[in-house]
Chains A and B, each alone.
Chain A
Amino acid sequence: MADNNVFDINNISFYYGKNKALDNLSLAIEPGNFYGIIGPNGCGKTTLLDITVREKTPSSGTIQYLGCDIKKYSRKGLAKEISLVPQDFYINFSFTVKEIVLMGRHPFIPRFSSPSSFDLDIVNEVMEELKIIKFKDKYITELSGGEKQRVIFARALAQNTPVLILDEGTSNMDIQYTLNILDIVDSNVKTKKRTVVAALHNLNLAAVFCDKLVFMKSGRIVHHGSVDNVLKEENIKDIFEIDNHIYFDHYSNSKQVVFKRKRLA
């Protein structure tokens, strides 16, 4: 049996009022890959990701998960397949870190039941992996932005799903933890054959970690394919309207993009 695509997105459009956020967009997400979605602010990245987790329903077009219309899945069923690390993670109530991470097991714990030892093992493992175990009893409201984001990330990993969606999931973290998290994501993709779709702002990190890149502009996909094929000077120029230079960097063993000040000639 041929592997189904994880997502088959066919001709979807999405409007906020009269503003078109996604414009007749089609994309196939193949399993076992780390996808980076790249594009300027307001190009529709978050909207696209929201549609993949069924947080939003497209105005027109269809989206299939594993070959079956995403609308046919129950909410709980989908939560066992796809997890999301959102861009905003403001929490007003003083839950402890371990309580938050355990919430990731919610779809697997029946109503009025206690978490099983399997649930707790996963929560422990994830907290170790993300180096948040040392403040597992702290309140989420007392943590710094980057720490909070690691907790939210742990919550999504505890969901233990075949597909992980990251919406700027590393925006508040320092470089050490950004690398830590992207390494974890990468090993999930490589060893557990998971699929990751991440909206990323940092082009060079995307170049190092992603298998495939999707370039978006004004609600459309303008280029997509393997990093080697699409990470090109003219594509960056096309999307972001900036001059840039791309070279192969031996230290990071990947393509890298560099920029220069406009004033200097």
Chain B
Amino acid sequence: MLKKSEFGTSIKVAPKIILLIFILLIVILFSTGMGYIEISPLEVIKIIIAKISGDNALLHGINEIFPYVVYDVRLPRILTAAIVGGGLSIAGVVYQGILLNPLADPYTLGISAGAAFGAAIALLLNITLLGIYSVALFAFTGSVATLFAVIFLSSSDGRLSSNNLILSGIIIAAILSAGISFMKYVADEQVSIIIFWLMGSFGSKTWPDVSLTFLFVSIGFIICIFFARDLNIISLGDRSASSLGIDTTRVRLTLLITASLITAICVSVSGIIGFVGLIIPHLMRFFVGPDTRKLLPVSALTGAILLLCADTITRAVLTAEIPIGVLTALIGGPFFCYIFKRKRRRTGG
């Protein structure tokens, strides 16, 4: 006989979530202390508490530049990196679920190409209408426009099939890539700025970046969790899912827009960071299985931890800063090859 606990969703995964939250906090604490100026974890804690409580007595005996370094320079960057890591992983889980394809990632539907296209236009034409946020805003607009172009192209008779979505995404991404290449070609001295933006960076992030990404990612996460069980059932195929009472088109569209907005905001603030959204959900499926209700929180936390670690490596460990997008691809790519090969051996298919 099956016991109720065998089906339990919260029971087995709760300790893992608590552990991951704990690890995330530790990583945030230590990475804040790391860098050109070394600050001990204890001092970091004191500075943060002093900032929150306004009790400046705690800062006694701490170098007076430290609070500035911790609060204004490092924490915004660190938190942005963690939130983007979580956001890209959530988007990855959702894309793989709605496209019924474990190889999908947040960029499969050309969201990144759209963002890159928008950013390239802003950089090329030197648009500074909205100050430092011009590029991010253009990138965001580019990715959202791409999303709706993909949805428009792939819908037929009010339906949204996963094959059509993937195909439309690839076509539109290809067109946009050609556009980006053309802009690079005509860009002259701006070309290095475009290339640098495309490779991604968390440098010079500010508190508004943190709050904006946090807002999008957390609202997105709640929507995705709301539809998590429906997403599980969609993996049975459209006909089975709709015979189980699921409006597959509505669920798919809602989740598609949600995951894409999460991706768009992440790309706009940080540039294109590959492999996180592909690998994290994959890796987490080994640990918690394919149930989206477990996969979403666990992937979000692990993604946050890993991207923060990667960013800390480029910022504080390596002597020269490597673009974060390059680093994640350099580490993530071979790692993905390894788990891909291992998994195939295990299932024999």
Is B4 at the interface (CB under 8 A from chain A)?
Answer: yes
Given contacts A98-B6, A106-B229, contact A76 B237 (CB under 8 A): no
Chain A contacts of B291 at CB under 8 A?
95, 99
A82 touches B243 (CB 8 A): yes
Q: Using Cβ atoms and an 8 Å threshold, which residues of chain B touch A53?
A: 239, 242-243
Q: Is B130 an interface residue (CB 8 A)?
A: no
| Chain B positions 78 through 107: 1 when the CB is less than 8 Å from some CB of chain A, otherwise 0 | 000000000000000000000011100000
Segment of A115-123, A179-187, A200-208 engaged in the interface with chain B? A115-123
Closest residue of B by beta carbon distance from A161 = B243
What count of chain A residues pass the 8 Å CB interface test? 48
State A42–B329 Cα separation when bound (angstroms): 47
CB–CB A104/B4 < 8 A: no
Which residue of the partner chain A has the closest CB to B102?
Answer: A92
Please give, as numbers and ranges, the residues of chain B lying within 8 Å of A79 by CB-CB distance.
243-245
A-B contact count (CB 8 A): 105
Inter-chain CA distance A104–B236, complex, in Å, is 11
The residue on B at minimum CB distance from A128 is: B1
Interface residues on B, range: 20 to 34
**Measured between alpha carbons, how far is A75 from B233 in the docked complex, in Å?**
14
What is the distance, in angstroms, from B17's C-beta to the closest C-beta of chain A? 16
Q: Tell me, rounded to whole Å, the shortest Cβ–Cβ distance linking A141 to chain B.
A: 6
* Nearest-CB residue, chain A, relative to B225: A112
A93–B244 CB distance below 8 A: no
Contacting residues, chain B, for A100 (C-beta < 8 A) = 236
Q: Give Cα distance in the complex from A41 to B115, angstroms.
A: 47
In the complex, residue of chain B having the shortest beta-carbon distance to the beta carbon of A101: B2
Instruction: Give chain A residues whose Cβ lies under 8 Å from the Cβ of B7.
Output: 98-99, 102, 114-115, 120
Asked if B247 is at the interface of the complex by the 8 Å CB criterion, the answer is yes
Complex formed: what's the CA distance from A117 to B8 in Å? 12
User: Are A124's CB and B1's CB within 8 A?
Assistant: yes
Instruction: Find out whether the CB atom of B240 lies under 8 angstroms from the CB atom of A84.
Output: yes
Is A33 in contact with chain B by the CB < 8 A criterion?
Answer: no
With A79-B244, A95-B232, A103-B244 given, is the CB distance from A86 to B239 under 8 Å? yes
CA distance A93 to B237 in the complex (A): 11
- Bound-state Cα–Cα, A76 to B4, Å: 24
Closest chain-B Cβ to A160's Cβ sits at a distance in Å of: 12
Q: Is A264 an interface residue (CB 8 A)?
A: no
A-B contact pairs, 18 of them (CB 8 A): A53-B242, A75-B242, A79-B243, A79-B244, A82-B243, A86-B243, A88-B237, A96-B289, A98-B7, A103-B232, A104-B244, A106-B229, A106-B244, A114-B8, A114-B9, A115-B7, A120-B4, A155-B236
